[in-house]
Amino acid sequence: MIATGDHRVVLDGVAHRYRGRGADVQALAPLSLAIEPGEFVAIVGPSGCGKTTLLQLVAGFLTPTEGVVAVGEERVSAPSPERGVVFQQANLYPWMSVRANVELGPRLRRAGRAERRRLADRYLGLVGLSEFADAAPYELSGGMQQRCQIARVLANDPAIMLLDEPFGALDALTRDRLQDELHRIWLGSGKTALFITHSVEEAVYLGTRVLVMSPRPGRIVFDEPVPFATGERGAALRAAPEFVAFREHVAAQIGRG
Ligand SMILES: Nc1ncnc2c1ncn2[C@@H]1O[C@H](COP(=O)(O)OP(=O)(O)OP(=O)(O)O)[C@@H](O)[C@H]1O
């Protein structure tokens, strides 16, 4: 299932300032960025530098105080099912089964019962949760809940996946496994991914392109393609000299103002 249409993501002179009860916070400095369809862009940066703000602007949860966010020819002004968001916490509906959670998007767009079932079977299979379709979310481990959240987003067939530190709360082994699963799913889907993380290792492992943001107000201070092939992942890659060298190259950029 290759995403069709023009889903190029463009941020043009985008800045964001939060106006709260206290002093205003300039979260993002004006920045410009284009993400081509099918790219996996991983953004890494220090805590509070504006990564989530940037993702929420692309999602349409926030409107920039300066500049324009666009997908294809359309200016982003609200959330859309074409941009699926995976949050750090799975936020599954606890009173619904795993299957019903995954069927939610298709149900809201009034897909028929057979179609909903087909989509849920397909995406629960893809994330390895077929046997847990009838379980309640609280019967799943944290990693399984994240897989269910990913299946729920995929069931909407978004052209763009926005992932906000989805594996940040998981133990290291589960995190490694889910990184491999996400990479496999992305590779087979043709979707664009924008992935936010604190971890340089995770960004370099998953991204086809890695961006580093400066401390707040966030700007992009580094933007390079990953210098190894898209399909090769696994323990051998993590230990490969070109992986280690690129990871150190990226790590050296963190904290750049
Ligand atoms: N709703 C809000 N109102 C006011 N300030 C906010 C709001 N949301 C975020 N901020 C501020 O904007 C800045 C950027 O926050 P953001 O969550 O985008 O950073 P982040 O890079 O995702 O951080 P972390 O990696 O710690 O999650 C921070 O200084 C934060 O305190």
The alpha-carbon radius of gyration of the chain (Å, integer) is: 18
What is the DSSP annotation of 64-84?
A: -SEEEEEETTEEP-S--TTEE
Give me the mean pLDDT over the 73-92 stretch. 93
Least confident of 97-101, 206-210, 226-230: 226-230
> Is the pLDDT at 19 greater than 80, yes or no?
yes
| 160-164 and 83-86 strand pairing | parallel
Query: What is the three-class DSSP state of 4?
Result: coil
Which atom belonging to ligand 1 lies closest to the Cα atom of 164?
Answer: 22
Report H helices in 60-199: 98-108, 113-126, 142-154, 172-189
- For residue 3, the model assigns a pLDDT of 42
Residues with CB under 6 A from ligand 1: 18, 20, 25, 27, 45, 47-53, 198, 216
- For residue 54, the model assigns a pLDDT of 97
Residues recorded for the chain: 257
Query: What is the three-class DSSP state of 60?
Result: coil
Biggest distance spanned by C-alpha atoms of the chain: 53
Q: What is the dotted CATH code of the domain comprising 1-82+158-257?
A: 3.40.50.300
Residue nearest to atom 5 of ligand 1 (CA): 18
Quick one: tokens of 97? 């089964």
| DSSP, res 214 | P
- For residue 5, the model assigns a pLDDT of 53
138-147 pLDDT tens trace: 999 999 999 9
Structure confidence at residue 4 as a pLDDT band (50, 70, 90): very low
Residue nearest to atom 3 of ligand 1 (CA): 18
Domain ranges of the chain: 1-82+158-257, 93-157
- For residue 137, the model assigns a pLDDT of 96
Give me the mean pLDDT over the 177-199 stretch. 92
Which atom belonging to ligand 1 lies closest to the Cα atom of 55?
Answer: 18
- Evaluate whether ipTM surpasses 0.95: yes
Give me the mean pLDDT over the 164-177 stretch. 89
Interval between CA 132 and ligand 1 midpoint (Å)? 35
